[in-house]
Amino acid sequence: MSLTHKITFALNGKPVRADADVASSALELLRGAFELGGTKLACGEGECGACTIIVDGRSRNSCLMPAVDLEGREVLTVEGLWREDGIDPVQQAFVDEGAIQCGFCTPGMIMQTKYLLSRNPDLTAEEAERGLEGNVCRCTGYKKIIAAAIGAGTGARD
Ligand code: FES
Ligand code: FES
């Protein structure tokens, strides 16, 4: 028998409610109850960053975060980057730099980049490398990803 808690939180700018299973992760809740498949499950152990979301302004591995801990938080997933006037500057920078192959790591890379740029819009290559070292890509190598993170800085300021 599973035990659930009713939780309320802000998801991509909108107030939401959910029955959160105490044994479930935030990742499972977002992908299941809210059908937000952009946040990926890869390692499930906090080692790859594919599940990165932003909670109260900080990046988190949603596979390790209990769903019930979303109570009262402000949560941003990659789906929340959609803008009326087009895609987010960070997403555009990944496209422009060709920093995507299979794309499985990309939402996590983009969310981590958003977080890094929110703290420092003028990332150096070294800072971008350090900030993204918890995000694993099996396809592209990291050169283009780092270039995208740095290149996104200007557009991400607005
Ligand atoms: S799926 Fe969460 S860190 Fe890998
Ligand atoms: S683009 Fe395939 S894992 Fe990164």
Tell me yes or no: is domain 4-81 CATH 3.10.20.30. Answer: yes
- Which one is predicted more confidently, 140 or 77? 77
> Quick check: CB of 44 below 6 Å from ligand 1?
yes
Question: Which residue has the CA at smallest separation from atom 3 of ligand 1?
Answer: 46
Q: How confident is the model at residue 158 (pLDDT cuts 50, 70, 90)?
A: very low
CATH 3.10.20.30 in the chain is located at 4-81
pLDDT at residue 157 greater than cutoff 50: no
Fold topology of 89-156: DNA polymerase; domain 1 (1.10.150)
CA of 38 to the centre of ligand 1 (A): 13
pTM confidence score: 0.94
Question: In degrees to the nearest 10, what's the CA dihedral of 36, 40, 45, 48?
Answer: -140
Which pLDDT score is estimated for 154?
61
Which pLDDT score is estimated for 156?
46
Mean pLDDT of the chain: 95
Q: Which percentage of the chain shows pLDDT scores above 90?
A: 90
